[in-house]
């Protein structure tokens, strides 16, 4: 009798959901490309296919850029049964065909929706259609969902993101969930079991040191976003990352600023989602985006976000513990003029509470490699003296062995 009752109860309990994300995805920060920063709403299937081709032919795929993510404005209408369809003019072959194409290139595909009634670009949002949309994405072969926060009125953020993660679970296809509520509801405090990355700020703007006022909202340059990461590193780790927004490398900043932007995103263990037009990028842009040793700092298996160790005048010293006892060190010159630095590795033993790692140059000599010139640069036996150009970085890997 008891078993009859409990099985009847189990059958009747239609509302029991699993609100936990797919584990084992994004064990290092996700890498890929997204359409928004360069193309905004001007996207179509031709552009996305050509970008996928360019990601392969340029070597970006082999450098680790795996996800081709379609951002806002791919949507058409919902049909009479509520199923969402792609814009028939911009995506005449449909998303499934695009997903098949992208998969055939050894890449993965991401898509975008919104927890509210409409996306930020005014397209249909997923509110009330979460389970149906998740099913559609799974059927299309989607691997990554960026889920935005426009037009959510009084929705509770944690609840809304739990709903979409439960919907993705139910649909059954492992999909990375990128939480995009701009840090408004402190997602770092609740999102670890729900999503694989969460935006920590409003949108990035393609400038190094500015804030762009759009009237009702602001967008932030590289340094402004960097400063907003303060205090958040303890929340990041394998499978759950702070997301300071997508890259602007190749979108118009000078090379030194692009390099500093990329270096700092690597120090932050940030998702590396390129936002340029890879079909026509300069050699310099490609070199920055595919610098293997800088990427290795970002993708390090220890999964520890870097931290600001010191500030002296315009120069910040950032450290990131790496697997095997190595460290990444990045000196960032925030000023519009060059700066000279001096750093005595042996002055103090540095201990990072979070990772329980120690940088002890008194007892060990670390070998230095300059990650942007690719050159060996002596060791920690001698203090470092260097000049850093305006808005630029000097970045090393310290090898323990």
Annotated catalytic residues are 148, 203
Closer by beta carbon to ligand GLA, 175 or else 180: 180
Residue 72 engages ligand GLA in binding (rule: CB under 6 A): yes
CA torsion angle 114 116 119 120 (round to 10):
-110
CA–CA dist 151, 42 (Å, integer): 21
Residue 223 engages ligand GLA in binding (rule: CB under 6 A): no
Residue 180 engages ligand GLA in binding (rule: CB under 6 A): yes
CA torsion angle 262 246 138 278 (round to 10):
-70
To the nearest whole angstrom, how small is the minimum distance from the Cβ of residue 181 to ligand GLA? Answer: 9
State which residue has the least CB distance to ligand GLA. Answer: 120
Cβ 151 vs Cβ 144: under 8 Å: no
Residues 101 to 130 in contact with ligand GLA, rule: CB under 6 A: 119-121
Closer by beta carbon to ligand GLA, 151 or else 256: 151
Closer by beta carbon to ligand GLA, 201 or else 380: 201
Residue 36 engages ligand GLA in binding (rule: CB under 6 A): yes
To the nearest whole angstrom, how small is the minimum distance from the Cβ of residue 26 to ligand GLA? Answer: 18
Closer by beta carbon to ligand GLA, 86 or else 120: 120
Residues 191 to 210 in contact with ligand GLA, rule: CB under 6 A: 203
| Interface size with ligand GLA, residues (CB under 6 A) | 9
CA torsion angle 297 262 397 371 (round to 10):
130
Closer by beta carbon to ligand GLA, 248 or else 326: 248
Residue 71 engages ligand GLA in binding (rule: CB under 6 A): yes
Residue 148 engages ligand GLA in binding (rule: CB under 6 A): yes
Cβ 29 vs Cβ 247: under 8 Å: no
Q: Which residues bind ligand GLA (CB under 6 A)?
A: 36, 71-72, 119-121, 148, 180, 203
């Amino acid at each position: 009798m008891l078993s009859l009752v409990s099985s009847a109860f189990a059958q009747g309990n239609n509302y029991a959901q699993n609100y936990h994300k797919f584990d084992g995805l994004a064990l290092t920060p996700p890498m890929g490309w997204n359409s928004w920063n360069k193309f905004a709403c001007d996207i179509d299937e031709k552009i996305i296919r050509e970008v996928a081709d360019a990601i392969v032919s340029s070597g970006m795929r082999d450098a680790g850029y795996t996800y081709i993510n379609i951002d806002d404005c791919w949507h058409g209408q919902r049909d009479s049964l509520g199923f969402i369809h792609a814009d028939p003019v911009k995506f005449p072959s449909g998303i499934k065909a695009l997903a098949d194409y992208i998969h055939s290139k050894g890449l993965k595909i991401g898509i975008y929706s919104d927890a509210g009634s409409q996306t930020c670009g005014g397209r249909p949002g997923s509110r009330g259609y979460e389970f149906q949309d998740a099913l559609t994405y799974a059927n299309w072969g989607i691997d990554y969902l960026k889920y935005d926060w426009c037009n959510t009125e009084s929705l509770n953020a944690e609840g809304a993101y739990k709903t979409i993660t439960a919907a993705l679970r139910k649909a059954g296809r492992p999909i990375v969930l990128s939480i995009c509520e701009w840090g408004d509801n402190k997602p770092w405090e609740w999102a670890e079991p729900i999503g694989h990355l969460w935006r920590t700020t409003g949108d990035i703007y393609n400038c190094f040191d500015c804030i762009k006022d759009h009237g009702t909202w602001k967008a932030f340059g590289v340094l402004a976003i960097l400063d907003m990461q303060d205090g958040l590193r303890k929340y990041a780790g394998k499978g759950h990352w702070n997301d300071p927004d997508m890259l602007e490398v190749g979108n118009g900043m000078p090379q030194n600023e692009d390099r500093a932007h990329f270096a700092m995103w690597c120090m932050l263990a940030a998702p590396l989602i390129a936002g340029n037009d890879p079909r026509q990028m300069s050699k310099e842009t490609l070199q920055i985006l595919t610098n293997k040793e800088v990427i290795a700092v970002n993708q390090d298996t220890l999964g520890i976000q870097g931290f600001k160790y010191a500030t002296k005048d315009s120069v910040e010293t950032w450290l990131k513990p790496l697997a095997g006892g190595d460290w990444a060190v990045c000196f960032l010159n925030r000023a519009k003029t060059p700066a000279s630095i001096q750093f005595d590795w042996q002055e103090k033993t540095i201990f990072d509470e979070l990772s329980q790692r120690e940088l002890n140059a008194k007892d060990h000599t670390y070998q230095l490699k300059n990650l942007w010139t690719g050159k060996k640069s002596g060791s920690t036996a001698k203090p470092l003296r260097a000049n850093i150009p305006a808005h630029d970085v000097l970045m090393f890997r310290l090898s323990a062995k």
